[in-house]
Structure 1
């Protein structure tokens, strides 16, 4: 067997130009991460593959400074310019993180691979932004991939949004998820502040809407906030209803809903519209929490298992691959897919390095959420590993005190 490198996968770091971050900085997270990697790599370089969404180019408030939106044409001049601006400001904001990466790359301790996801796909058509990133990492240039095969370990890596009907983009085009991120998730806190004032006690907590995963749990989260924050019940109800109306009237959204229409079935567009309707206006005061929970579970059922099913299909058609690594969902996972050549085939999801508000359901059937900072990584070991390890999958969560 040929000598294999120490190969590490992470995903969904979601560096942003202005939105709030974790309790622990990305630079500090990387330092903790590298302590473990340093002990395992020995004298050889480690290889790090980011499996999508290193940057979040979709959810930048800077999109509201012009008419351009992340769901407009990726090669549109205004979109490309704004992507460059977002990347420039994000690199400056996360200087400690990029300096730490650059230091390891420049000494030869680390090799860097980048597979794009749905939140950073716009990098593919932004050469100036690519150049900025390469310079920040101390590299002459950076190659962006939609997928990568690591034949030494038998690993296929791609972001995983292909298994998410809200964010699937086979041709790299904009998705309804881009519009949700821009026209609902970014716009809601912005408009709420305009109504109640930026200095209203606790209004900054509404920014946590950006941490809600999966994205179709956002309507349930908004509903929960209106119940928790009694002082904001009326403003939240009014603003959310306005934002939903504007979203449904958006030309891009209307075209997408039309494309999803199926006369005799509850198509994806109808499901999304129903989720939004159940979360707003009169429903906030009088609607059924159980109906919202049931519809969410219906949505989740169509998503759960889809990424693993796609992974299994990919392994069946590719020779020499045994493992599939995805990001996207923000929820770490390790699932057996059967056996290939007398060895186990496995699907991995590398979770995220950011805050997550995870949906659940309380005893009354109402949606509830648990916020925490997450960190996951997957390591495949060299051929001569003393412990004869093939891989290790590490995931953790940190919950901060609120008193």
Structure 2
């Protein structure tokens, strides 16, 4: 299902035969090529998106015979049932260049937005020197839907669009919170969302209130509820902006849990954001939201598949004496990472012990891989504190002690060579069970889960593995978590095009990636055949810019 601006007409005859437009005269056709100013493909299943189409320009490699132009070009719009409906169009050969054809709609205006089109070049079109093509050519393309907060007149002020934004990381203290400079922009963004006549839903894809990005010496209050109330108070303008959207009642606002707000309960969310919809699984800290006209869209944070970030209801209950304890190890290395940032990435005198891996014992080798991951993280994020110093304050999720960094890092006994750890003891052996508890459909091998946890693309590919390969009804999947905003076309188990999007983040420092990003999904208009997915960046001047090429699905 290729898309291109350059086509060899005779090379496409096999594909065109599959589409039912092949004629026997193709075998005798002289080779003619054509270059288009817009993206087209040979399949309706993969109509490439063009942001603005006003004039379709086709440049052939041979001068055309004007006498053969009549009725040789046909334009069709694809309706919601997949039928090709003929559209009136204006076709002419360029006065200055006989190799060029220009095609416009009848009004000679911009093509309608959010539509799929079929362009047919009939076999009667010929050149001055080599005669008729002898073969029909069919190309498909789609037109994108403009997004702006003032409204798109082609959507008739109907609320259809879905905005997904995630990873706001609202912090409890602006001396170390990741969202500070972008606070004003976020309030402005939410105010514009509230006033948009086209927006039907706003989905918060996790990591809204941040309970992880805290220095090691941060003293938690006596209750989780008190902590989250403090976060809300520190971000009052943002909370009020969300609540204004909820209270207006015209846009459905949905919250999906992330790992940084893993312990944020349904009651906490109701208290801070009254009237908000929540998409939660049975286990605290997980949830996915299904929406769209045909329930074709799934939105979740994406931490579910991460060894270090998905809930861990197994490892530490003998330490916490808490049957609901679920904090995974990512919580502790985030506390250490925050300290590194607060301390200005200091020089460290800490030394990592060399370990000898036991490749003959799967459990022990996975423990070694787990150690290597910790080593890589702490080598990049050094702290002043010694590894044996009891500097990690807890008072959270059943943890009450102060821990040393070495309580988190696996240790190897010199005499036996056994690798073990104080916190998350035997975590490498419970991954299979943890996946079952957390509802991961396609199990990820332990070694792969450990070594690829920090690889952004590993999270992205879970959209393919956990959704598109299993359920053909799910055509669009949106994650957050990685902070790497993108829109990626994929293919499902029925060989139909699907779309994965990552909503990115709103924190101040995108670590080399864009920040203040959000995804917009526009379901098909009435009698239209395509649904579009676009990624935007919100700018400090309260305008938006499209960040990547949009994608469209033939529904």
**TM score, norm. by length of structure 2:** 0.46
| 2:378 matched residue in structure 1 | 219
What runs of 5+ residues in structure 2 fail to find an aligned partner?
A: 1-79, 82-157, 281-286, 314-324, 346-372, 392-402, 411-420, 431-445, 541-555
Could you say which structure has the higher strand fraction?
2
Retained in 1: the 8 A contact 2:167–2:483? yes
Retained in 1: the 8 A contact 2:166–2:205? yes
- Equivalent residue runs for 1:218-367 within 5 Å: 218-222=377-381, 238-239=384-385, 246-250=404-408, 254-256=422-424, 258-260=426-428, 299=451, 303-313=455-465, 314-339=467-492, 343-356=496-509, 358=511
* Cα-to-partner distance string for 1:175-208 (whole Å, 9 max, x where unaligned): 11012123x1344567889xxxxxxxxxxxxxxx
Retained in 1: the 8 A contact 2:452–2:458? no
1:377 corresponds, among 509, 513, 518, to 518
| 1:20 matched residue in structure 2 | 177
Could you say which structure has the higher helix fraction?
1
The Cα of 1:117 is off from its aligned counterpart by 0.9
CA distance in 2, matches of 1:38, 1:241: 51
| 2:302 matched residue in structure 1 | 160
The higher relative CO (CA closer than 8 Å, separation ≥ 6) is in 1
The Cα of 1:375 is off from its aligned counterpart by 1.3
Against the structure 1 CA distance between its residues 192 and 158, is the aligned structure 2 distance closer, same or farther, given a 3 Å change threshold?
A: closer
Against the structure 1 CA distance between its residues 162 and 308, is the aligned structure 2 distance closer, same or farther, given a 3 Å change threshold?
A: same
Q: Which secondary structure does the structure 1 equivalent of 2:225 belong to?
A: helix
CA distance in 1, matches of 2:408, 2:216: 19
Pick which of 113-122 and 373-382 moved more: 373-382
| 2:289 matched residue in structure 1 | 148
Against the structure 1 CA distance between its residues 189 and 319, is the aligned structure 2 distance closer, same or farther, given a 3 Å change threshold?
A: closer
The Cα of 1:22 is off from its aligned counterpart by 4.0
2:202 corresponds, among 32, 48, 69, to 48
The Cα of 1:61 is off from its aligned counterpart by 5.3
The Cα of 1:111 is off from its aligned counterpart by 1.4
The Cα of 1:349 is off from its aligned counterpart by 1.1
What runs of 5+ residues in structure 1 fail to find an aligned partner?
A: 69-77, 194-213, 224-235, 273-298, 359-369, 399-403
| 2:413 matched residue in structure 1 | none
Alignment partner of 1:31 is 2:188: yes
**TM score, norm. by length of structure 1:** 0.61
- Equivalent residue runs for 1:86-165 within 5 Å: 86-124=227-265, 127=267, 129-135=268-274, 139=275, 142-145=277-280, 146-152=287-293, 154-165=296-307
Bigger Cα Rg: 2
* Cα-to-partner distance string for 1:12-39 (whole Å, 9 max, x where unaligned): 1111111334453434324136547855
Q: Which secondary structure does the structure 1 equivalent of 2:515 belong to?
A: strand
Against the structure 1 CA distance between its residues 190 and 35, is the aligned structure 2 distance closer, same or farther, given a 3 Å change threshold?
A: closer
The Cα of 1:249 is off from its aligned counterpart by 2.3
* Cα-to-partner distance string for 1:306-361 (whole Å, 9 max, x where unaligned): 22332112223224210111111111122222156674212111111112362xxx
Q: Which secondary structure does the structure 2 equivalent of 1:47 belong to?
A: strand
Against the structure 1 CA distance between its residues 92 and 301, is the aligned structure 2 distance closer, same or farther, given a 3 Å change threshold?
A: closer
CA distance in 2, matches of 1:346, 1:165: 25
Q: Which secondary structure does the structure 2 equivalent of 1:181 belong to?
A: helix
CA distance in 1, matches of 2:262, 2:271: 16
Retained in 1: the 8 A contact 2:302–2:481? yes
Pick which of 328-337 and 29-38 moved more: 29-38
Question: In the comparison of the two structures, how many residue pairs are matched?
Answer: 301
CA distance in 2, matches of 1:144, 1:12: 16
Retained in 1: the 8 A contact 2:311–2:326? yes
| 1:5 matched residue in structure 2 | 160
